[in-house]
Amino acid sequence: MTHSKPPASRPGVWQLLRIWGSIGLQSFGGGASTTFLIQDAFIEKYGWLTEEDFSRLWNLSLFTPGINLVAMTALIGRRLGGLWGMLASLLGLLLPSATITCLLTAGFTLIEHFPAVQAILRGVVPATAGIMLLVAIRFAAPQFELVRKEGLWRQLASVLIILGCALAIIVWQASVILVLLAASLAGIAIFTPWQQRPGRQTSPRQD
């Protein structure tokens, strides 16, 4: 199992503010692009998190109400910089993006009917889909690497959970929280290393 770098190599508060501010300024295209930028910064560029670390924090953020990326930002900031790191991370992500969003929204109402603007939007949608696909592959890679070491049947179980969750949401329009709870129970049943307790050893009889 891989681990993140030791605390001495982790960023300071101002560095977290700068990094998250950069992410907030670049996070065009929705949650997928923001997630990609976070992975690229904290996993690929600086190495403060591993893919396994990121997946674990993301799974925790899924169980929080509201916007998952905000919860993810708080979790990463808290892990790398404590309370002040968490506050700096949230400020860095939200302040630039919220400011740009307000300005774009005000301006978009004036130009949204222009043909050039509509053409731009039609090009952005496929790009966002491509980013989402890359993010999904990055999420799945460490999971499949983990189950690959645990046997073929656990690989099949992971694939079945993925397909089952997708079908439940797309076909049966199940509640996301119910799907997450069902996946959690399936994970407990399948991936918990159940071990039989060793039986009591009787001491040799002495005459």
Tokens of residue 104, six digits? 């774009």
According to the model, what pLDDT value does residue 158 have?
A: 76
According to the model, what pLDDT value does residue 180 have?
A: 80
Q: Which residues of 46-67 are buried (b: 16+ CB within 10 A; e: fewer)?
A: bebbbbbbbbebbeebeeeeee
According to the model, what pLDDT value does residue 19 have?
A: 94
Tokens of residue 156, six digits? 């099949």
CA-wise closest residue to 21 among 87, 120, 104, 94: 94
According to the model, what pLDDT value does residue 148 have?
A: 67
Q: What angle do CA 74, 75, 81 make, to 5 degrees?
A: 80
According to the model, what pLDDT value does residue 147 have?
A: 63
According to the model, what pLDDT value does residue 74 have?
A: 93
According to the model, what pLDDT value does residue 29 have?
A: 62
For residue 114, which amino acid is it?
A: F
CB 73 within 8 A of CB 93: yes
According to the model, what pLDDT value does residue 143 have?
A: 67
According to the model, what pLDDT value does residue 197 have?
A: 47
Nearest-angstrom CA–CA distance, 48 and 67: 23
At 57, which helix (H) or strand (E)? helix 51-62
Nearest-angstrom CA–CA distance, 20 and 177: 28
CA-wise closest residue to 51 among 35, 67, 65: 35
Which residues of the chain carry a pLDDT beneath 50?
1-8, 195-207
According to the model, what pLDDT value does residue 31 have?
A: 74
pLDDT digits (tens, 9 = 90+) for 77-125: 999 999 999 999 999 998 888 888 788 777 777 777 777 777 777 777 7
Nearest-angstrom CA–CA distance, 119 and 48: 39
Q: Per-domain residue ranges for the chain? A: 1-107+119-124
According to the model, what pLDDT value does residue 144 have?
A: 66
According to the model, what pLDDT value does residue 16 have?
A: 94
Nearest-angstrom CA–CA distance, 146 and 135: 18
